[in-house]
Each structure stands twice: as structure tokens, then as C-alpha cells.
A = this chain, B = another copy of it.
């Protein structure tokens, strides 16, 4: 007999108790970036270990050079999939404190301006409330039948808000213990309060800094203008050639590994009704800058980009100085999709620059972040399972969305554990994460638990 109906019922009856447990966790000031809260971070990890142990997980604290990880294991039925669930227990600082309408670490259920019941407090949405949706789903399974439908490993991090400095080494050192069939990550948001979303992709990132060196010193343009190489001109010319008039990137080999998005996925994005006007209007723009002939959502979710994030050279203060500077610099970043190889993109970009460099100039490159894109195979069985589970809960098909930015842990799971990540989250765009008056809708918390219960059930049956 399938346990799901009873599990969902249990979640519904336990609603208040679940909120109360979340409040206990929210009261712990686990601000990872501020050393003053080191003990609080430790306490949050301990709280989670105790809670997981109380529902039958083999849970432990794992020290790192920074704040500890929480690792927990629970067995599943033979033949059931093994999932690695990820969340983070650390939170952002609360400044400016005076903008909060109540103590950020004294959580409460309030009514929001738009009439929703919301849990108010730092971490309510990012990520304590979200990670507890999964824990509560497990608790319900255990309460109803004493077992979980899948084998579950849990990894809770305490340094997500401060750059995850310990994650790579931890994954490398504990890869055997953490390996699973795939990862579940609960740190993303829905499109709106009633429409579930699965993040099926995440753009990768290559960050490059370049400095063009020309003359051995700054020059007076009255004496050297028209004779000496001007590094601003050299740099502007090179950057100006990176996009063609149709918005395509002209770097040789840049599109290697970029796949076309399946037409039914494109159609589902089309159905969201997002237009260039609706997407760009709020920021005062109207004309998409990317490749012509593609929808605005395809541009930001499924196409690679080259963006210029900084340019400096010469005199940039008030007034004017007729200088020809000795050097000029730019910061350039590429958002990658699908199977684009970051190393190839970096090498092709450098070649593109070097080929356009005047004989007496030289270029210096500096690499910053570099991560591949993450793209779930659209035909993955666990994706189909999650889609149908979410559709059952929300009576609406989930949006297959892509995160334009990057969630580093997803790339690290791929690199160190060889795992794809299924990203399902219940946060909302107006949750004010990282800002004063962070909140998490009560329905996000409640239906999030029910969603995980359904997903775990669907994964087993797959």
C-alpha cells in the first residue's frame, strides 16, 4: 500500500509543529560571514544533527577549517534510488537592522501586504525554511511507516553565504561517503506563489580580466597622438568585435557544445507570456541585446553570453586630460550553457584578443571564476518523476526554468561526486532574501513539504 496519502495527511496535521521547529532553528543567529557568530553556527549544526537523529538519521557534525558541515544518512528500500539532499544552515547578516519591522531572529507568522500568511525572520526563506521542507517530508514518512521511500544522504553547509570556502576540500575528502545517484538542491525559487518550478539548468561562468599595455609611460596626445598606440582604442576595438550586428559572439569555437533547446521546452517558456517589454521594462529597457530571433527567456536561460563588466583606462576624473595612457583594462565574463567547455572558451577568447593586438602592444590576462554550465538531460527519469509529483501537488505543470547565474555547489557536485542536481525550491521572488524583512510564505513551507513527499514517492516508483 502506498504511504503517500497518509504522509501528506500527516504533514497537514503537523503543520503547526513544523513551524515551531523551524522557529527554533531560525532563532539561532548563524551568520557565517561574521566571526562573532561562530558559536551560533556551531549551534545550528548541532540543532540539525539532533533533529535528524530524532527521526532516525545517522547524523554527525563534520568539522572544516570554517563552519561545520552536517552529514546524515538514512537507508531506503532495496532498489530505490539514493539521493543526496543539499541545503545550508547559515544566513546573511541583518544590517541595516533599523529597516526590519521586528527582530530578525525572533521569527513569527504575520500577514504580508499582499494578504499571505508568512514566516518572518532571517533565514526563513534562504535557506532554513527551504531545507526544513525536506526534513519535514522525511519526518512524515518516518512517522507514518517508519521508512523512507529512497535512500537519503543529507549535506547541510554552514558557509554558503560566505563563498563556501570549505566545500571543495570537503567533497574531495568525503566523496565516497557522499556519492549518490543524483542530488536534490533546495535553494531556488518558484516563478510565483502558485506555480512550481524545476531548475533544469544553470549557466556556467568564465571570468577574465585583461590589461593592454602600450607605451612605457603615459603620453601627451599633442605630441604622440596619431603616432603612438592607444590602449583604450586597442581594447575598445577588440571588445567591439566580440559581438556581431546580430548579437552573436564572434569568438571562434565559442558556440561549441551549445545545444538547441527542445521545441516543447521553448513552447512552455513561450506560454509564460514573458516578453522583451515585460522583462526589460522594469529596468528601463526594451530591446534585447542578445542573439536576434530568440525569445527573451531563451536568451537568459539557454544561450551563452559575453558581457563586459568593467573597463578602465586613461583619465576618468572631472574635466579633461589629453593623455594617451600606458595601459587599459577590462573585465569580461562569459555565461556558458550546456556542454561549453570553460577552458576552451577561455583559450578561444585569449586567442581572439591576441590575434587583434598591434605588434608593439602586449596583453596580460588574469583568470577569476571558471565553472561549466549545468544542464539536466531533459529526458532524465528523475526529472519526469519530479515534474509529475509537482504537477500533482500544485495542479499545474512546473516551469522548467534555468538559473542565469550560478550556484557553485551544483558544479562542485558534478566535479567532485559526478552527480547531476535536481533543483527544486519554493522561495518566491519577493522573499527579500539577503534584505531586511526576509519572509517565507506559509504555503511555500507547507506545500514544499508535501512536494518533497510526492517527489520522493515518485522517484521510488520510477
Q: Which residues of A contact B (CB under 8 A)?
A: 203, 205, 207, 209, 214-217, 219-230, 232-233, 235-243, 276, 279-280, 283-291, 296, 299-300, 303-305, 307-316, 319-325, 328-331, 333, 335, 358-360, 368-369, 403-406
Q: How far is the CA of A277 from the CA of B421 in the complex (A)?
A: 59
Q: How far is the CA of A311 from the CA of B312 in the complex (A)?
A: 5
Q: Which residues of B contact A207 (CB under 8 A)?
A: 320, 322
Q: Which residues of B contact A283 (CB under 8 A)?
A: 215-217, 219, 224, 228
Q: Which residues of B contact A309 (CB under 8 A)?
A: 221, 232, 314-315, 320-325
Q: Which residues of B contact A321 (CB under 8 A)?
A: 309-310, 331
Name 11 A/B residue pairs within 8 A (Cβ), A-sorted: A216-B284, A223-B404, A226-B291, A226-B299, A227-B300, A228-B283, A230-B307, A232-B311, A307-B322, A310-B321, A316-B331
Contact assessment for B404 and A222 in the assembled complex, using a CB-CB cutoff below 8 Å: yes
Q: How far is the CA of A215 from the CA of B223 in the complex (A)?
A: 38
Contact assessment for B311 and A368 in the assembled complex, using a CB-CB cutoff below 8 Å: no
Kindly identify which residue among B220, B228, B290 contacts A226, using a CB–CB cutoff of 8 Å.
Answer: B290
Kindly identify which residue among B205, B227, B290, B325 contacts A296, using a CB–CB cutoff of 8 Å.
Answer: B227
Q: How far does the Cβ of A354 sit from chain B's closest Cβ, in whole Å?
A: 16
Given contacts A216-B283, A237-B240, A289-B358, contact A316 B312 (CB under 8 A): yes
Q: How many copies does the complex hold?
A: 2
Q: Which residues of B contact A242 (CB under 8 A)?
A: 233
Contact assessment for B228 and A308 in the assembled complex, using a CB-CB cutoff below 8 Å: no
Contact assessment for B359 and A287 in the assembled complex, using a CB-CB cutoff below 8 Å: yes
For the residues of A in contact with B, the DSSP-based class is mixed
Q: How far is the CA of A331 from the CA of B320 in the complex (A)?
A: 7
Q: How far is the CA of A228 from the CA of B221 in the complex (A)?
A: 35
Contact assessment for A227 and B320 in the assembled complex, using a CB-CB cutoff below 8 Å: no
Q: How far does the Cβ of A320 sit from chain B's closest Cβ, in whole Å?
A: 4
Contact assessment for B237 and A232 in the assembled complex, using a CB-CB cutoff below 8 Å: no
Q: How far is the CA of A188 from the CA of B285 in the complex (A)?
A: 53
Q: Which residues of B contact A287 (CB under 8 A)?
A: 229, 358-360
| Chain B minimum-CB-distance residue to A298 | B226
Q: How far does the Cβ of A216 sit from chain B's closest Cβ, in whole Å?
A: 4
Contact assessment for A315 and B331 in the assembled complex, using a CB-CB cutoff below 8 Å: yes
Given contacts A289-B230, A309-B323, A309-B324, contact A240 B241 (CB under 8 A): yes
Q: How far is the CA of A225 from the CA of B205 in the complex (A)?
A: 11
Q: Which residues of B contact A305 (CB under 8 A)?
A: 221, 225-226
Q: How far does the Cβ of A191 sit from chain B's closest Cβ, in whole Å?
A: 14
Contact assessment for A227 and B311 in the assembled complex, using a CB-CB cutoff below 8 Å: no
Q: Told that A285-B360, A287-B360 touch, could you supply 6 new A-B pairs with CB distance under 8 A?
A: A215-B285, A222-B403, A227-B290, A228-B280, A232-B309, A316-B331
Contact assessment for A230 and B312 in the assembled complex, using a CB-CB cutoff below 8 Å: no
Q: Which residues of B contact A328 (CB under 8 A)?
A: 311
Q: Which residues of B contact A313 (CB under 8 A)?
A: 308, 310-312
Given contacts A315-B331, A320-B209, contact A284 B227 (CB under 8 A): no
Q: Which residues of B contact A241 (CB under 8 A)?
A: 240
Q: How far is the CA of A203 from the CA of B236 in the complex (A)?
A: 25
Q: How far is the CA of A313 from the CA of B236 in the complex (A)?
A: 12
Contact assessment for A308 and B300 in the assembled complex, using a CB-CB cutoff below 8 Å: no
Q: How far does the Cβ of A326 sit from chain B's closest Cβ, in whole Å?
A: 9
Contact assessment for A284 and B215 in the assembled complex, using a CB-CB cutoff below 8 Å: yes
